[in-house]
């Protein structure tokens, strides 16, 4: 089974090689034996983008993304030109994460919109897809504001994913109409996440991405504990069951979607062997 975690955050506490070993060990512990492991390390601010780049260059089959998360928008200087150092990196796959979060930080909405719009422009200039975070307090405000910016982005030729999808099926339909991809996290295993399960069920197969968004949002039965990409197989198993397909079929589709989205089709991957796993 192939795995592609399209969204995780690297804290830098363990070295990249140690962290990757931990991922593989934990995957085994969770009953999953991946044949290949692809990762996208995501930056939510400048320093985390630097760390994501370091991680991607240190381990096999990893790419990275650079951006400013809406929760970090307020602390951002507004000087997007400092991100120019990432522009020509061969492992830079996307701009992100970016977006609007009116759930945790509604008081900074105006600055969030400004930063989001600035980075969408950058994604167009760099010809990279955008990884977008949209979350609100159930009033659809972040979604409406975000979709208005994304419509403009798409009409200028931009491509995007709404990662860690938490909205209704109506949101999902609008994202799909704009050509967007949808990222499903371990939240799909949470008891109250009927809306996410509905989307995971109805989503066209060619728009589905899988992600852990670790270290947050560990899937059941690890909810509340530290998350990591080793749990991706649990999310995949859950989504496969919802969609009535085998886990290997689901993973194959999700991996090929991920490679298409990030423009990394055809690269040669490391086939994992028993000795790659500590477990
Ligand atoms: Zn994230």
Q: Quick one: how far is CA 237 from the chain centroid?
A: 18
Summarised one tens digit per residue, pLDDT across range 40-91 is 999 999 999 999 999 999 999 999 999 999 999 999 998 999 999 999 999 9
| 275 Cα: distance to centroid of ligand 1 (angstroms) | 30
- pLDDT tens digits, residue range 126-153? 999 999 999 998 889 999 999 999 999 9
Q: How far is the C-alpha of 50 from the C-alpha of 57, rounded, in Å?
A: 11
**pLDDT reading at 253 higher than 50:** yes
Residue 26 predicted with pLDDT over 90: no
> What mean pLDDT value characterizes the chain?
94
Q: What is the CATH number of the domain that holds 43?
A: 3.20.20.140
How many structural domains does the chain have? 1
Q: Count the Cβ atoms, other than its own, within 10 Å of residue 247.
A: 16
What pLDDT score does 279 carry?
46
| Cα 64 to Cα 8: distance, rounded to the nearest angstrom | 10
Q: Map tokens 């192939």 to a residue.
A: 2
Q: How many angstroms is it from 1 CA to the middle of ligand 1?
A: 24
For residue 97, cis peptide bond before it (omega within 30 degrees of 0): yes
Quick one: pLDDT at residue 52?
98
Q: Which parts of 59-161 fold into alpha helices (H)?
A: 109-126, 141-155
- How far away, in angstroms, is 204 Cα from ligand 1 center? 23
Q: Does the model's pTM come out above 0.85?
A: yes
Task: Locate 77 and state its tokens.
Answer: 């200087």
Cα–ligand 1 centroid distance for 133 (angstroms): 8
Query: Across residues 4-14, what is the average pLDDT?
Result: 95
- Which residue range forms the structural domain that includes residue 64? 2-276
Q: Which two tokens stand for residue 16?
A: 């990249």
């Amino acid at each position: 089974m192939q795995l592609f975690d399209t969204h995780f955050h690297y804290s830098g506490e363990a070295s990249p090689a140690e962290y990757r070993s931990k991922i593989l060990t934990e995957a085994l512990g969770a009953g999953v034996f991946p044949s290949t492991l692809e990762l996208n390390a995501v930056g939510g601010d400048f320093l985390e983008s630097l760390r994501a780049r370091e991680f991607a260059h240190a381990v096999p089959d990893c790419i990275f993304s650079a951006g400013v998360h809406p929760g970090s928008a307020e602390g951002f200087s507004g000087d997007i030109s400092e991100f120019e150092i990432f522009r020509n990196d061969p492992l830079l796959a996307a701009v992100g994460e970016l977006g609007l979060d009116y759930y945790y930080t509604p008081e900074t909405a105006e600055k969030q919109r400004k930063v989001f719009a600035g980075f969408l422009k950058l994604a167009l200039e760099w010809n990279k897809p955008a990884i977008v975070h949209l979350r609100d307090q159930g009033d659809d405000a972040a979604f409406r504001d975000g979709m208005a910016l994304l419509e403009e982005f798409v009409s200028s030729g931009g491509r995007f994913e709404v990662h860690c999808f938490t909205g209704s099926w109506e949101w999902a339909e609008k994202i799909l109409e704009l050509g967007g991809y949808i990222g499903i996290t371990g939240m799909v295993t949470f008891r109250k996440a009927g809306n996410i399960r509905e989307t995971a069920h109805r989503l066209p197969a060619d728009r589905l991405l899988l992600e852990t968004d670790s270290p947050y949002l560990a899937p059941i039965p690890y909810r509340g504990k530290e998350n990591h990409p080793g749990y991706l197989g649990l999310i995949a198993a859950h989504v496969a069951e919802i969609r009535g397909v085998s886990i290997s079929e689901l993973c194959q589709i999700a991996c090929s979607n991920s490679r298409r989205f990030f423009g990394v089709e055809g690269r040669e991957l490391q086939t994992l062997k028993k000795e790659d796993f500590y477990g």
